[in-house]
Structure 1
Amino acid sequence: MTPEEMQARLLYRDGLMLVIDKPPGLPVHRGPKGVEAFEDYFDALRFGLPRSPALAHRLDRDTTGCLVLGRHRKALALLGKLFKQGKVGKTYWAVVAGGPAADEGRIDIALSKRDESRGWWMKPDPHGLPSVTMWRVMGRSEGLTWLALEPVTGRTHQLRVHCAEMGFPIVGDNIYGSAPRVGGPTLHLHAREVVVPISKNKPAVTITAPVPPHMRELLGKCGWNGERIDEPSSPLP
């Protein structure tokens, strides 16, 4: 990814944070195997500061959309506190196989690691960490549903496990759903919007990420009308 391509993914910028539009297929940070990661390209986002920005949270490898970065240590500490306290609003869009009968609801299923050899893989566990997701139906099609998901807690793979356990796995989920490990559709999970109360004296900043190309066909079948123009939701100073 060239510096220009990285900068083109910028959705929001101020003195404390950046929000960028993460593409599918790249882990956000380097793992033990040293594979290519999204953070390898953050140097293109310094904008005059001596250090590259750093991750304030994480998204799964194949999840797209709003990813928040802190521009320096003080900003990272503030953002980390906001995320930990649940003060950052997060809305994801997902296309799921099947779907719930109701139009909105709440999923309350505790989660824990499946086992240490599976890394981040999670499982339902009544003795695990409390995990809550709010959901709302945005549209339906034959065999598919477009959901807006709001994680109240921020457990690893929470939305994917919760949807699968409720009987409507996310399209393209090759861990918790039925998608093939190779050659199947890309995960249809998109971090559509974040709301960050970054300043005490100003309204919270709301940033929206454009729908990625791989989700547009199925979202359209579920009633999404497309976007007139994909441009940053906030001015870039």
Structure 2
Amino acid sequence: MPVGALICVPDSVTKIEASSQSHEPDDPTEEEIEQLKDAVLYKDEDLIVLNKPPGLPVQGGSKVERSLVSMMSLALQFEYKEPPRLVHRLDKDVSGVMILGRTYESTVKIQSFLCSKDNLMPSVITIQGSVGKGLDRKYIALVIGSPTADKGFISAPLLKMVLEDGKSDRVLIAADPKSENAIPAITEYQVLKRSVLGCTWLQLRPLTGRKHQLRVHCAQGLGLPIVGDMKYGFNTHKKWMAERNMNTVDPQDIKARNKMAGSVVSKNPLLHLHSRELTIPRLRKKPGAVDFGLDPERMRFVAPLPTHMESSWEAKPYVKKRPEKVAGWGWTVPKRVLRLQHMNWQKSNRNIYRR
């Protein structure tokens, strides 16, 4: 921050009860530490790439018992003297690829690279008219409904609103794009496949990194909120839950509902938004220099889907089995109907058999 910068703090901060300030969360268990270690996708001397599990907050708060930051020193420090540092953030319920810097120099370099407007992929930068340098981010989301076009761009400036005297906030699409507080936000989307219960799988590529950008662009820009997003798609979500026809889903998936907690066929679906892939240039240390350079070779990290999204991906629509075709008949009849017809024919022709 520059010297003389002014920090504004809401009045509600001074009203926090002393009990919540003095509360210290319990230390993470060995099982939680091992689970976080198992989530590491890649590790070198400069960075750690993590497949962040859903439901784990990145940073702590007044109501947060466990966060990624509070566990990094125990699970992700490894042989270094200091724990890794945050390079970027994901929402609590969003899973997927997340990068941590292992040194101060590498953290600053990756942060500046991610925040630069000139680091977008050439294939998705046509809207801004500049040339990218290798950054590519891909998310997978399951939305309620289906877009009118299979692919396109969502260009809608966002506006942050503070509610309840600073206790919460909400991001909205700005009614006036030229407003002083409107922040430009662009997302590219593409349909991957149709799913059960009237839902659609989308691939989302954010060209800007705004808070809740993908969730707001889906809910308000496309009118298709993400499954499990009760903050930005509450009304649509409740209506969809009440009207969805479970008879259109494969019965085997319905029977396995308890094993598919949080999936699209469950009673309480979790948020279906996953940071699937992140591609960045490889960092290289200049000989005899303190700063980093960028290697032309790119590093691509892919995170597998969490359990609830994998179950939703594999959910199949119910397809009725075709009845067997009867020889010489111009229509098809199920086997049980044929058996009943045969029994009735035998009863009506008993005298013939007796003769």
Give TM-score scaled by structure 1 length: 0.87
Larger-gyration structure (1/2):
2
Corresponding residue number in structure 1 for 2:59: 29
Q: Give the % identical residues.
A: 38
Query: Which residue pairs with 2:97 in the alignment?
Result: 66
Corresponding residue for residue 95 of structure 1? 142
Looking at structure 1, the residues matched to 139 and 167 of structure 2 have their Cα atoms a distance apart, in angstroms, of: 25
1:147 aligns with 2:147: no
CA–CA separation in structure 2 for the residues paired with 1:138 and 1:118:
37
Mapped partners of 1:93, 1:222: distance in 2 = 18
> What does 1:69-84 correspond to in 2, within 5 Å?
69-84=100-115
Q: Does the CA-based 8 Å contact 2:280-2:299 persist in structure 1?
A: yes
Greater share of helix:
2
- Cα deviation 1:117-155 (Å, max 9, x = unaligned): 364420111221000000011001351110000000000
Q: What's 2:217 paired with? A: 162
SS at match of 1:204: strand
Moved more, 197-206 or 76-85: 197-206
Alpha-carbon distance, 1:222 to partner: 7.6
What do the CA deviations read for 1:4-53 (whole angstroms, capped 9, x no partner)? Answer: 22111000111111110111112111124453212221122122111000
Moved over 4 A (4+): none
The match for 2:186 is 132
Distance, in Å, in 1 between the alignment partners of 2:314 and 2:148 is 20
Q: How many residues align?
A: 221
1:121 corresponds to which residue?
A: 170
Which structure: greater strand fraction?
1
**Does residue 163 of structure 2 align to residue 109 of structure 1?**
no
Scaled by the length of structure 2, what TM-score is found?
0.59
CA distance in 2, matches of 1:74, 1:37: 24
Equivalent position to 1:50, from 71, 81, 98? 81
Amino acid corresponding to residue 25 of structure 1 in structure 2? G
1:3 Cα deviation (Å)?
2.8
Q: Secondary structure at the match of 2:142?
A: strand
Q: Is the 8 A contact 2:282 2:295 kept in 1?
A: no
Partner of 1:220: 314
Tell whether the 8 Å contact from 2:281 to 2:295 is kept in structure 1 after alignment: no
RMSD: 1.9
SS in 2 for 1:203: strand
Is the CA contact (8 Å cut-off) linking 2:57 and 2:64 kept in structure 1? no
Aligned residue for 1:60, secondary structure, equals coil
What residue number does 2:344 align with? none
Partner of residue 232, structure 2: 176
Shift of the 56–94 alpha-carbon distance from structure 1 to 2, 3 Å rule, reads: same
- Which of 47, 54, 64 aligns to 1:17? It is 47
C-alpha contact (below 8 Å) 1:79/1:198 kept by paired residues: no
Secondary structure of 1:115's match?
strand
Q: Is structure 2 residue 303 aligned with structure 1 residue 209?
A: yes
CA distance in 2, matches of 1:101, 1:34: 40
Cα distance in 1 between the residues matched to 2:194 and 2:158: 28
Shift of 1:203: 1.0
Q: Distance in 2 between matches of 1:90 and 1:188?
A: 17
Offset of residue 217 of structure 1: 2.5
User: Which of 1 and 2 has higher RCO (CA within 8 Å, sep 6+)?
Assistant: 1
